[in-house]
């Protein structure tokens, strides 16, 4: 351990959980070398150096450039090896051909932290990828930590460091937000927005190619950092989604994690012949993954900052009841719509609140929620009414709307609201529909809560804050493990794997399901047509006839399903029709399945073992149109009974099960148990690559249900999803 320097490396911080090794050398260095510090002011190397001086970095700065003696009045060295002092971190901005040599010198010098700005690596093709591989290998071998390459740099705005090691023209102020951006270019935009919102950072990092330090490392770095109250990420890809899930599930219980995840899907393009597989490769699954981790996903940086600035200045709401205070009817209607659309409720104001409001508001004012004080409302009215509404126990949050009236300027109203609500334990969000002058003025005000221009984003923010608060308080729920005949399942799966994987034949798939404790309408496989009538007698009428064949994936697509067969004659007719249809679709049946006909609502329960996320369970409206209606939810096992019920309630399928227009309710408990059993099955047997139980008939409450069709695909030996 080196002892030089005015303070030990970030030892002033006490941590209650281990953070990723070595990142203090990057974010909390005592000394920084800028390798490639340029003599040209308007170059990347020049900006890097001047930014460090501009923010008043509290440690030592060593410019490195073989062609300069002094830069910014500071001695310049030809190489880090010539610096007599110790160096914690090197910011490298030399042409890519020189990066490996520079990093090797840094290693020799004992430098532990690297920020490699230089581009031209993995992002430009195979040659760059090879250079990056060598760089990453060198960094790992020498036990260094590296941000980048191909990044804009890092900032630690904590006053003890005041370090801006980026080439961004916009500086960052100190505050509660930690931000990791996978895009450097967006990084500048992020810093600009933050500056205009007066939102400060603990640390900001442009991750670049994430060759050594990943977003997951940064999450761990911030997990127990007391100064970081909000973590935000801009991600283009998930490096290790399963680890991301593990980490964020924990962190989000302590502090909000906000993510802008740009369009690409988690699973990427992959062949998926099951409904679940197809949907898992879509955005639906990413949303499910993020939701299951308690992460708030925003579509744009703007949305993310709308939320972040509210979180930075406002407490979380304790409930979903919103009071709206306005001086104009139209925006109040817009706000009401937005609040309801976002899943929040309008608060019922107490009689006392209404009495108090009526004591000073004109008789034309509306005292129900939204409270419309009409256009004559003064700044004083706003202040008094806001205070009264916040004191109502039936109100969890307040949305204030002001459309600039003739008599009172928005600034006076704003000040009155600020005075009246300062220190409130409930969030207050403000929408000002004002002219540009007001927003310009707001920009020059010291740090303040966010001001929204329209009600919709404010309602979205309130809803996200409510979800965050609810997630943080949510109990773990009940987790059940079910008895299953694991040996029987393992045997069937192993047999298929020995043959290189693929779909189980129907009999085996049903056996797996039955061994997992899920009731099945067990099909009877009949190879020879002539044996169908005798077997049908055994199964019992009414029954269903289905075609079976290697290449028949979705039977009904090729006319391979006939239902409601009540006797031998109907069986014969259905068979003839089916053979015609199959021939027309070029599908070959190698046998038939007879099955008892089930009744109830048709649902789907499916699962995939995503190679990078692990098991995902899907459920919702079943039948042929699963992908069209997309009335499905994904959950990540292990999942609690409560979480499944909550997701189910948000589906149309949930409403159908509850019973529509006098219909009897379906057996929700049966469905939930089936979902949990499928979750346990695919977790315990990761070699199940994907499966669909579709349709799963759910009978009336208390009467259970039956799996009527099931497809299970088993991965080959080498590609078992959870194998590594
Ligand atoms: N040690 C120290 N200094 C070195 C050096 C070395 N091994 N090799 C070169 N230098 C100096 C040069 O003398 C030069 O100084 P000068 O301007 O005073 O002459 C300085 O480093 C920069 O080198 P130069 O050859 O002028 O390169 P450049 O400034 O044109 O480009 C990069 C260097 C790193 C900026 C460029 O290669 C690059 O990667 N640009 C893209 C960066 C990017 O987009 N990153 C991602 C952002 S999101």
Three-state helix/strand/coil letters over 566-577: CCHHHHHHHHHH
Distance 416 CA to ligand 1 centre (A): 53
Task: State which ligand 1 atom lies nearest to the alpha carbon of 35.
Answer: 2
C-alpha–C-alpha distance, residues 542 and 73, integer Å: 93
Beta pairing partners, 234: 181, 260
Alpha helices in 325-454 (DSSP H): 329-341, 351-358, 379-391, 410-421, 436-444
Task: Name the 3-class secondary structure at 240.
Answer: coil
- Measure CA 696 to chain center: 29
At 442 the pLDDT is 86
- Measure CA 554 to chain center: 32
C-alpha–C-alpha distance, residues 148 and 93, integer Å: 11
**What is the SS3 assignment for 405-440?**
CCCCCHHHHHHHHHHHHCCCCCCEEEEEECCHHHHH
> Does the CB atom of residue 67 touch ligand 1 within 6 A?
yes
Buried b (16+ CB within 10 A) or exposed e, 182-214: bbbebbbbbbebbeebbbbbbbbbbbbbbbbbb
414 touches 445 (CB < 8 A) = no
Q: How many CB atoms lie within 10 A of CB 179?
A: 28
Beta pairing partners, 89: 32, 113
> Does the CB atom of residue 94 touch ligand 1 within 6 A?
yes
Task: State which ligand 1 atom lies nearest to the alpha carbon of 98.
Answer: 7
User: Which of 35, 38, 207 to mutate to test ligand 1, by most ligand atoms within 8 A of the CB atom?
Assistant: 38
At 587 the pLDDT is 86
**How are strands ordered across the β-sheet holding 113-116?**
60-64, 31-35, 89-92, 113-116, 145-147
At 639 the pLDDT is 87
For residue 259, the 8-state DSSP code is: E
C-alpha–C-alpha distance, residues 431 and 408, integer Å: 16
User: Which of 65, 124, 149, 168 to mutate to test ligand 1, by most ligand atoms within 8 A of the CB atom?
Assistant: 65
CA angle 247, 457, 650 (to 5 degrees): 60
User: Which of 37, 42, 45 to mutate to test ligand 1, by most ligand atoms within 8 A of the CB atom?
Assistant: 45
> Does the CB atom of residue 152 touch ligand 1 within 6 A?
yes
> Does the CB atom of residue 118 touch ligand 1 within 6 A?
yes
User: Among 402, 419, 392, which residue's Cα sits nearest to residue 458?
Assistant: 402
> Does the CB atom of residue 36 touch ligand 1 within 6 A?
yes
Task: State which ligand 1 atom lies nearest to the alpha carbon of 206.
Answer: 48
Task: For 558-623, give the DSSP string.
Answer: GT-EEEEE-SHHHHHHHHHHHHHHHHHTT---SEEEEEEPP-SEEEEEEEEEETTTEEEEEEEE-S
Q: How far is residue 554 from each of residues 275, 364, 685, 690, measured CA to CA in Å?
A: 10, 64, 24, 15
For residue 520, the 8-state DSSP code is: B
Backbone angles phi, psi at 562, to 5 degrees: -125, 130
C-alpha–C-alpha distance, residues 328 and 345, integer Å: 20
Task: Name the 3-class secondary structure at 648.
Answer: helix
Task: State which ligand 1 atom lies nearest to the alpha carbon of 118.
Answer: 39
> Does the CB atom of residue 35 touch ligand 1 within 6 A?
yes
> Does the CB atom of residue 378 touch ligand 1 within 6 A?
no
At 40 the pLDDT is 87
pLDDT along the chain (724 residues), means of 10: 39 49 94 94 92 96 95 95 98 97 98 98 94 97 97 98 96 97 90 92 96 95 97 85 87 96 50 56 70 89 94 96 96 94 96 97 95 93 97 97 84 94 95 91 82 95 96 88 97 95 92 96 90 92 90 84 94 95 90 90 91 84 77 87 89 83 88 97 94 93 91 76 34
Residue length, the chain? Answer: 724
C-alpha–C-alpha distance, residues 253 and 580, integer Å: 59
């Amino acid at each position: 351990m080196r002892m030089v320097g005015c303070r030990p490396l970030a030892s002033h911080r006490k941590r209650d959980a281990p953070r990723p090794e070595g990142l203090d050398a990057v974010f909390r260095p005592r000394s920084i070398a800028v390798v490639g510090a340029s003599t040209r002011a308007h170059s990347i190397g020049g900006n890097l150096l001047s930014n460090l001086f501009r923010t008043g970095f509290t440690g030592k700065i060593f410019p490195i450039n073989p062609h300069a003696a002094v830069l910014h009045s500071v001695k310049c060295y030809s190489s880090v090896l010539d610096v007599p002092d110790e160096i914690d971190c090197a910011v490298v901005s030399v042409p890519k051909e020189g990066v490996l040599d520079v990093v090797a010198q840094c290693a020799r010098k004992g430098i532990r932290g690297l920020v490699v700005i230089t581009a031209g690596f993995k992002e430009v093709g195979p040659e760059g990828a090879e250079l990056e591989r060598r760089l990453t290998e060198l960094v790992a071998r020498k036990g260094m930590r590296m941000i980048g390459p191909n990044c804009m740099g890092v900032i630690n705005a904590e006053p003890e460091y005041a370090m801006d090691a980026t080439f961004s023209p916009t500086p960052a102020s100190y505050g509660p937000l930690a931000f990791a951006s996978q895009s450097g270019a967006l990084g500048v935009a992020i810093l600009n927005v933050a500056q205009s919102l007066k939102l400060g950072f603990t640390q900001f990092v442009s991750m670049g190619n994430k060759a050594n330090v990943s977003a997951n490392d940064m999450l761990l770095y911030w997990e127990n950092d007391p100064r970081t109250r909000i973590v935000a990420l801009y991600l283009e890809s998930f490096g290790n989604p399963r680890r991301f899930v593990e980490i964020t599930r924990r962190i989000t219980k302590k502090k909000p994690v906000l993510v802008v995840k740009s369009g690409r899907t988690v699973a990427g393009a992959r062949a998926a012949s099951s409904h679940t597989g197809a949907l898992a490769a879509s955005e639906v699954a990413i949303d499910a993954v993020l939701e299951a981790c308690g992460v708030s996903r925003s579509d744009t940086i703007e949305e993310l900052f709308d939320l972040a600035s509210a979180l930075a200045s406002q407490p979380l709401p304790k409930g979903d009841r919103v009071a709206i205070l306005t001086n104009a009817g139209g925006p109040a209607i817009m706000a009401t719509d937005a609040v309801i659309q976002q899943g929040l409720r309008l608060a019922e104001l107490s009689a006392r609140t209404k009495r108090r409001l009526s004591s000073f508001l004109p008789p034309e004012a509306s005292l129900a929620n939204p409270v419309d004080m009409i256009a004559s409302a003064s700044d004083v009215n706003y202040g008094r009414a806001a205070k009264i509404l916040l004191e109502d126990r039936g109100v969890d949050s307040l949305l204030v709307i002001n459309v600039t009236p003739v008599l009172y300027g928005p600034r006076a109203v704003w000040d009155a609201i600020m005075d009246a609500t300062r220190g409130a334990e409930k969030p207050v969000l403000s929408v000002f529909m004002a002219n540009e002058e007001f927003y310009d003025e707001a920009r020059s005000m010291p740090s303040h809560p966010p001001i929204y221009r329209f009600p919709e984003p404010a309602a979205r923010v309130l809803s996200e804050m409510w979800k965050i608060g609810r997630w943080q308080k949510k109990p773990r729920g009940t987790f059940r493990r079910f008895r299953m005949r694991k040996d029987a399942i393992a045997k069937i799966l192993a047999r298929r794997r020995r043959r290189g994987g693929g779909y189980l034949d129907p009999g085996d798939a049903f056996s797996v399901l039955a061994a997992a404790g899920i009731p099945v309408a067990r099909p009877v496989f009949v190879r020879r047509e002539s044996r169908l009538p005798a077997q049908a007698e055994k199964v019992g009428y009414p029954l269903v006839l289905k075609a079976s064949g290697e290449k028949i994936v979705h039977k009904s697509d090729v006319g391979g399903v006939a239902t409601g067969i009540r006797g031998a004659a109907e069986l014969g007719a259905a068979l003839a029709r089916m053979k015609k249809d199959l021939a027309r679709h070029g599908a070959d049946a190698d046998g038939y399945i007879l099955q008892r006909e089930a009744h109830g609502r048709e649902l789907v329960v499916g699962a995939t073992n995503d190679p990078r996320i692990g098991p995902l369970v899907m459920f919702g409206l079943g039948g042929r149109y699963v992908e069209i209606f997309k009335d499905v939810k994904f959950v990540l096992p292990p999942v609690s009974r409560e979480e499944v019920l909550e997701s189910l309630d948000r589906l149309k399928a949930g409403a159908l099960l509850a019973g529509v227009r006098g219909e009897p309710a379906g057996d929700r408990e049966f469905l939930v148990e089936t979902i949990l059993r499928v979750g346990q099955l695919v977790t315990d047997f990761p070699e199940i690559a994907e499966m669909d139980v579709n349709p799963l008939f759910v009978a009336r409450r208390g009467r259970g249900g039956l799996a009527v069709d099931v497809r299970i695909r088993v991965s080959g030996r080498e590609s078992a999803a959870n194998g590594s």
